[in-house]
Structure 1
Amino acid sequence: MQLVPVSLAYFLEVARTGSVSEAAQVLNVAPSAISRQIAKLEAGIGVPLFVRHPRGMTVTDAGSRLLGHARRSEVETAALVEELRTGRGADVRTVAVACSEGFARRVVPGAMAAFRRAYPDVTFRLDIVPRQEATRRVAEGIVDVAATYAMGPQHDVRVECAVVIPVAAIVPVGHELADRRRITLAELCAHPLALGSAGTSQRELFDIGAQLEGLTVRPALVCDALAPQYEFVRSGGGIALVGDLGDLDEGAATEGVAYVHVDHPVFRQREAQVQTMLGRRLPWAAAQFTELLVGRLRPPHTAVGQ
């Protein structure tokens, strides 16, 4: 059921796809109908909402502000329609969360379990996705809250908490580095390494650090998933890297690994963030869970921004 004005719905789809023709395919309408509605919307507001390119369209500054409003309207409309259909309102407590894999290991599911002990009627949905996708999903209202890594300012979401997370080397129990508290990047690179792909934030920072130190590194394994990296380490294949979200000491011995912090300032450029949608008033359960997640992420690290 469409409660959002047609012109706003068409605007949303063009902004998402970057193309009138692609938006027309998604909406199953004629491209000319979309163009007319966009032109009518721009004329009514009095400013252009898109920059037209030979191969697509991008939103202007004004279009970006309208896009945020349209996304919030879409989310609130969907919630209202569901409430009207089911006859249930405040008693419906479902929280949708997106997070990158490091957060899905212990931090987020542990927070969910703790929350349900206090509020057993709350249901969670968890999407484990790459860091940029987690941010996109919360920005577009697909999920209520995201826990992910980020580098640099975030303009499309509200950052509820931002914490610099140390990086640790995962080494097998009994390894020559296992009893060390800290190691340098050069010491790390003297061993075979399992690293994420070039598109991951941790790998990007590692490569910058190695370049600054004049280190040449050829990874023994390139893999973005944590489980294969852990097994690679346990099996003696080399060393991997992981963000220390405060959960590394839990069960480390039973996992057959030890953790050693890697001492290099380059890794301080990355933050762990809890993100919500700009301008959206979260439902009660989502707001309470976000507060719990922020509290769990901050200690024992130092918050660097809101």
Structure 2
Amino acid sequence: MRLLPVNLTYFLEVARSGSVTEAAQVLGVAPSAVSRQIAKLESGLGIALFARHPRGMTLTDAGSRLLAHARRTETESAALVEELRTGRGAEERDVRVACSEGFARRLVPRAMAGFRSEHPDVSFRLDVVPRREATRRVVEGIADVAVTYAMGPQYDVRVECAVVVPVCAVVPLGHELAGRDRIGLAELCAHPLALAPPGSSQRELFDIGVQLEGLTVRPALVCDSLAPGYEFVRAGGGLALVGDLGDLGGDGGAEGVTHVRVDHPVFRQREAQVQTAAGRRLPWPATRFTQSLAAMLSPRHPSGPAATQREG
């Protein structure tokens, strides 16, 4: 059963398939009916939602924005229908979380465990995905909350909490830099480095900083996962970079490493954010858990990063 308006339903199918004909087959209607609904929607909005090509249709920027809204509405509608059919209240729903890997290492699982100690009837679904994918899932209603890094203004999301997170070098015990409180970018780059791949926020900022300082760096290891980087450092391969989310001081020694702050203004351009969809009303477990996450990420929290917070 669909609760979406007909024009949005047709729009979704065309966006998914890239073809009026294929969308009509899925919907079980004539292609002309689909075309009329799309034309009516575009006329009402006063803007083109699709770019027409000989072999199909692609979304315009406006169409992409509408698609995110339609998918979010579709997800919420499906959840409401399920609740009405089963008699389950919204308060019994699971909480769906999307986060990038740095947050999945400790902060988010600890927040989940702490929340379940007070609300044992709440279950979680955690998906560890790239930072932009985490935001996309919240925008489209696939996830209730995202915990991820961001640079620049964010659209279609409500930023519940934003913290500028310091960046630290992962240094093996006994290394010449191990006893330092902080180091500069040039000192860091004098050693072999394990870095995130191009496209990650940390690597983007690192590359900008290196360019500003006139440094030349050829990474010893490029990897999109934290665990191999840590093992590379422990084995004496070099140094690595990690965001300090307040979870680096506890067991570094037990892991055979220590963490030293990298002091460069370029890293202050990135924020750790807790995000929810703009305009969406979350069920109470997701709302409360979002508040818990924001509190844990706060620099005022005992385990939060010692940085500047901005609340949305």
Q: When the two structures are superposed, what TM-score results if normalisation uses the length of structure 2?
A: 0.90
> Cα deviation per residue 1:231-275 (whole Å; 9 max; x = unaligned)?
111111110000011111121111111000000001111110110
Residue in 2 that maps onto 1:82: 82
Residue in 2 that maps onto 1:175: 175
Residue in 2 that maps onto 1:131: 131
CA distance in 2, matches of 1:235, 1:102: 21
Residue in 2 that maps onto 1:141: 141
Task: Summarize the alignment of residues 213-232 of structure 1 with structure 2, pairs less than 5 Å apart.
Answer: 213-232=213-232
Give the partner amino acid of 1:130.
P
- 2:20–2:35 CA contact under 8 A, matched in 1: no
Q: Percent identity?
A: 68
CA distance in 2, matches of 1:172, 1:39: 62
Gap runs ≥5 in structure 1: none
Give the secondary-structure state (helix, strand or coil) at the position aligned to 2:280.
coil
Structure 1 residue 303 corresponds to structure 2 residue 304: no
From the superposition, tell whether residues 31 and 237 of structure 1 become closer, same or farther in structure 2 (CA, over 3 Å): farther
- 2:24–2:34 CA contact under 8 A, matched in 1: no
Superposition deviation, residue 67 in structure 1: 4.5
Task: Summarize the alignment of residues 242-257 of structure 1 with structure 2, pairs less than 5 Å apart.
Answer: 242-257=242-257
> Cα deviation per residue 1:109-151 (whole Å; 9 max; x = unaligned)?
0000000001000000000000010000000000000000011
CA distance in 2, matches of 1:296, 1:182: 24
Give the secondary-structure state (helix, strand or coil) at the position aligned to 1:242.
strand
CA distance in 1, matches of 2:91, 2:210: 53
Give the partner amino acid of 2:178.
A
Give the partner amino acid of 1:57.
T
Give the secondary-structure state (helix, strand or coil) at the position aligned to 2:241.
strand
From the superposition, tell whether residues 25 and 274 of structure 1 become closer, same or farther in structure 2 (CA, over 3 Å): farther
Give the partner amino acid of 1:47.
G
From the superposition, tell whether residues 266 and 77 of structure 1 become closer, same or farther in structure 2 (CA, over 3 Å): same
Superposition deviation, residue 100 in structure 1: 0.1
Task: Summarize the alignment of residues 281-292 of structure 1 with structure 2, pairs less than 5 Å apart.
Answer: 281-292=281-292
Q: When the two structures are superposed, what TM-score results if normalisation uses the length of structure 1?
A: 0.91
Give the partner amino acid of 2:95.
V
Residue in 2 that maps onto 1:37: 37
Number of aligned residue pairs: give it. 303
> Cα deviation per residue 1:53-90 (whole Å; 9 max; x = unaligned)?
546433465x5665465344213211111112322114
- 1:48–1:60 CA contact under 8 A, matched in 2: no
Residue in 2 that maps onto 1:58: 59
